[in-house]
Amino acid sequence: GRPLPTLDPPVDPLLAVTIAEALGTSFLLAQGGDNNATALGPGGCWDDVENPQNYTLRGPPSPVPDPLAIGAMDGVVLGARLARGPLPVADLLRGYYGTGNGSEAGRPPSSYRRRDFGALAGRGRLEKEVAAVLGLLRTLSPTPKLLRDVGTQEVAAVAHRAAREFSERYVECPTIVPRCLWGARPYRGTPALLRPPLGSVFLHHSLEPAQPCRTFGACARAMRDMQRFHQDTRGWDDIGYSFVVGSDGYLYEGRGWHWVGAHTKGYNTQGFGVGIVGDFTATLPDPDTLALVRDELLPCAVRSGHVRPDFTLRGHRQLGHTDCPGNALFQEIQSWPGFQ
């Protein structure tokens, strides 16, 4: 057939086959559907934390559910790595996902997917690539039905919205591992609703486990141990923290954004309790873990409307008779935005 047209900007083939086409068509479909149509999400759950076999989405699927978005980001990161030089795919995947390395010395490279994807395809570039690939699809004969009556301005608007929403959801905010994925027990009783935006964030350390967790398996076990302690020994309805931070690069959902926690006595309705796995009396979490809370979680909580822009950050010891979050960590957070 006739040669494909030259576009400005030209379509990046790696981004086209991983994310740009799926993202553009997803937002076109959502735009043409009912008012409740969504283009991104949801996430899902495995049937068994220790021996997963089946994955079930937690809501009505969109054209780009979370697993597809995660796979697309990995495709961009790994594709860029392969473009620099040949490497056996098995070695590439083993190194990236950290399987079989037998070490908890550092985070697997895959835990940096959001940062690395953002560096390769920031919001501005992603918008250009979505517009370019939709422009290319419009020139095909026969024109896809989805694009038959779509003009250049509409393509630009779809690309802008798609890049913005994808970046906000998957690049600019940290990954939160849902309760079902770390093997949470059910909540006991009836949870009480929070009324966001809240004005405070309270920082804690777990003390026990005393060692930071550096793999998903270790962090999931730490979550289950803390939940058992809080429910069975303390007699609480659930794990007390709103969120827990592992040194594997992920946040773990405790009570989450919507339910009153049991983290800071007398103040649980006023703010979110964020715990970091480990004892930080004498040593600090690694710099990447600190950055995950300071530079990703806190700004994302403000942007998403869960926390007020003028929020106050405090260590647990400021509001109760405790050494939490440890001397070293408490000293560190005094230089963070919002600390009082």
For the chain, give the mean pLDDT.
92
Of residues 147, 171, 174, 145, the one with CA closest to residue 159: 147
Query: For residue range 276-315, what is the model confidence (pLDDT) as tens digits?
Result: 999 999 999 999 999 999 999 999 999 999 999 999 999 9
How far apart (Å, rounded) are the C-alpha atoms in residues 241 and 253?
8
The verdict on whether omega for the bond into residue 5 sits within 30 degrees of 0, i.e. cis, is no
Q: Is 312 helix (H, G, I), strand (E, B) or coil?
A: strand
pLDDT for residue 113: 96
- Over residues 242-264, the mean pLDDT reads 97
- Over residues 107-114, the mean pLDDT reads 91
Q: What is the DSSP string of 98-165?
A: -TT----SS--GGGGHHHHHHHHS-HHHHHHHHHHHHHHHHHSSSPPGGGTT--HHHHHHHHHHHHHH
Of 137-146, 215-224, 320-329, the poorest mean pLDDT is in 137-146
pLDDT beyond 60 at 121: yes
How far apart (Å, rounded) are the C-alpha atoms in residues 278 and 219?
11
- Over residues 253-281, the mean pLDDT reads 98
pLDDT beyond 60 at 22: yes
User: In the chain, which residues fall in CATH 3.40.80.10?
Assistant: 198-334
How far apart (Å, rounded) are the C-alpha atoms in residues 267 and 200?
9
Helix axes 21-32, 123-139, angle to 10 degrees: 80
pLDDT for residue 142: 81
Query: For residue range 34-75, what is the model confidence (pLDDT) as tens digits?
Result: 556 788 999 999 998 888 899 999 998 899 999 999 999 999
pLDDT beyond 80 at 244: yes
**How many CA atoms does the CB half-sphere of 54 hold within 13 Å?**
3
Query: How many other C-beta atoms lie within 10 A of the C-beta of residue 186?
Result: 9
Q: The tokens of 338 are what?
A: 């919002």
pLDDT for residue 99: 56
- Phi/psi of residue 204, nearest 5 degrees: -135, 165
Rounded to two decimals, the pTM is: 0.91
Q: Is 169 helix (H, G, I), strand (E, B) or coil?
A: helix
pLDDT for residue 12: 93
How far apart (Å, rounded) are the C-alpha atoms in residues 40 and 31?
12
Residue 39 makes CB contacts below 8 A (sequence gap 6+) with 23, 26, 27, 29, 30, 62, 63, 64, 162, 165
- Percent of the chain exceeding pLDDT 90 equals 79
pLDDT beyond 70 at 7: no
Of residues 227, 209, 194, 202, the one with CA closest to residue 306: 194
Q: In the CATH scheme, what architecture does the domain 198-334 have?
A: 3-Layer(aba) Sandwich (3.40)
The verdict on whether omega for the bond into residue 186 sits within 30 degrees of 0, i.e. cis, is no
Cβ atoms of residues 107 and 147 within 8 Å = no
How far apart (Å, rounded) are the C-alpha atoms in residues 317 and 313?
12
How far apart (Å, rounded) are the C-alpha atoms in residues 314 and 301?
16
pLDDT for residue 319: 97
